[in-house]
Structure formats: structure tokens, C-alpha cells
Amino acid sequence: MNTKKRIPIGFQLWAVRGEFSRDVGGTLRKLAEMGYQGVEFWDYAGTLQLYGKYSAAELRKLLDQNGLRCCGIHVKLEALNAANLRQTIENSRILGNEYLTLAGAKECTADKNQIARLARLLNKASAACLPHKMIVGYHAHPFDFKKIDGRFAWELLFEQLKPKVNMQMDVGNCLAGKGDPLAMLIKFPKRTWTIHLKEHKDKTFESDYYAEIFQRCEIGSMTRWYIVEVGGVLGKGFRATRSAIQKLTRLGK
């Protein structure tokens, strides 16, 4: 019998990029005080430094000081290519990160041939990362739910990806692209290790729709992290970020 599990809540730092660029340590401290248990970095390209002037070791020290874990890194395509993948893996090892997620590749989902090439790249990177206990994934954006010959680009991609490639659904982005995140979780079961939570119109965290999303993630799934991606304009301010975790806490998350 499947039992309901408690999934920790992380935060995608892009949503507070304005604050983070101004005060890295202070931003991490505030997120921890709000109740977030981890953070997901963004825009990494396989370089020696992980963010700006900060090395992975320096950021790991700040995470440890604030009782936070790294719940993922959103990477660019170049971070997964053969020339940079070793550095990408090493920085993830230092951070204690298990999830390397391609943030999006609009130019690679233009047609079936491009999607097939993207699938081969992700499968190859996944095979190289699995021995290091790291999972490669792909993140949902609205453009992934355009139709190609009557089917979502997202479906065409994940039908070609190996089961160990993380299907990082973004509930709000999928809905904004006129897709159905719940339908994708059902069609590709046990493929989502991390999922982005974002409200969209009437699909609030308190809605019946989100209740089904939560149930799908918490019972009999592979989901290990809820990741909130909610912030102010240009990533400034913490009001929306704080409100999001307060709602989830009231729901018992």
C-alpha cells in the first residue's frame, strides 16, 4: 500500500535574482527563515565559478550556515556538453546537488528533428551523470506545449527520453502554455523527481486541481522536492515568496 510522504520545499533563486545579486548571504538567510529547506541555482553554463564570483565551495559554506540544501541547478545547454560536463559534475558534487536540469531550450523544440537531437543530448548527459548519483532533467516552459502535428512538443521529447531523465514539470508554466500538467504526470509516471509550484489563475495552491497534483507527487511517485518559483518584479522583494510558503504550510506541506 502506498503511503503519503512529506516532500521538502525548496526555492528557485531566479525568482529573487534581484535580491540575490545584491546580497547572496542575506537572501539565503531570509529564505531559510521563511521555512524553505533548499534552493535551486540558475543559469549555470559549466564554468569554474557557479554564480558570479562565487565558487561552489563558497556557496556550499553559505548553504550550510543557513541550514539549506541545494535542491537543483538550472543549467544552460553548454553545461551538459562534453567539454564542460566534468566541471558541472564537480561543482554539483561540492554543493551536494543531485539534480542538473536544462532550464529550457526553445530553439531545440522547433520541430521533430530538433527534439530528437535534444533527446539524444539529454540521454547522453544522463548516462554520464548517473554513476555520480546525479540526475539530468528538463524544465517546463510554455513553449514546450506548442503543438507539432497535433501533439505537445513536451510529449514528443519525453517519449524519447530515458526514464531516469527528470521530467521537471512547472505547473504554472505548463498551464500558461495551455498544457495540462496533471495529464503529463499521469502519462509519464514516476519521472518527476523535482517539480516547480506556481499558481496560475484559478489553479491556486488551495484549489482542487493542485490537490490532485500534490496527491500525485506524494503517493507512489519519485518526487523528492517541491520547488517554489514565485517572486516580485525583476526578482526584487520577498512578499510573494513569503506568501507562497505560508500558503503551503497552511496546507500541511
Strand partners, 196: 170, 227
Domain that holds residue 181: 9-250
Query: In the predicted model, what is the mean pLDDT of the chain?
Result: 96
Q: Is residue 159 part of a domain?
A: yes
Please check the confidence at residue 164 and state whether its pLDDT lies above 90. Answer: yes
**In the chain, how many domains are there?**
1
Query: Is residue 16 assigned to a domain?
Result: yes
pLDDT at residue 222 above 90? yes
Residue entry with cell 566534468: 86
Please give the DSSP secondary-structure letter assigned to residue 13: G
Instruction: Give the mean pLDDT of 71-99.
Output: 97
Q: What is the mean pLDDT of residues 211-240?
A: 96
Cell of 10: 525548496
- Judge whether residue 27 has pLDDT over 70: yes
Q: Is the pLDDT of residue 5 over 90?
A: no
- How much of the chain, in percent, has pLDDT values that exceed 70? 99
Residue type present at position 58: E
- The answer to the question of residue 1 being in a domain is no
In a domain? residue 242: yes
Indicate whether 220 pLDDT > 90.
Answer: no
Strands 166-168 and 38-44: unpaired
Residue 212, domain member (yes or no): yes
pLDDT at residue 1 above 80? no
Is 209 domain-assigned? yes
Q: Is residue 3 part of a domain?
A: no
106-151 pLDDT, tens digit each: 999 999 999 999 999 999 999 999 999 999 999 999 999 999 999 9
Asked, for residue 2, whether it belongs to a domain, the answer is no
Candidate from 156-160, 166-170, 217-221 with smallest mean pLDDT = 217-221
- pTM of model > 0.95: yes
pLDDT in tens, 174-192: 999 999 999 999 999 999 9
Looking at residue 211, which CATH number applies to its domain? 3.20.20.150
pLDDT in tens, 29-45: 999 999 999 999 999 99
Tens-digit pLDDT profile for residues 60-77: 999 999 999 999 999 999
What is the C-alpha to C-alpha distance for residues 246 and 205, in angstroms, rounded to an integer?
11
User: How far is Cα 121 from Cα 105, in angstroms, rounded to an integer?
Assistant: 12
Average pLDDT over residues 203-227: 96
Provide mean pLDDT across the span 94-100.
98
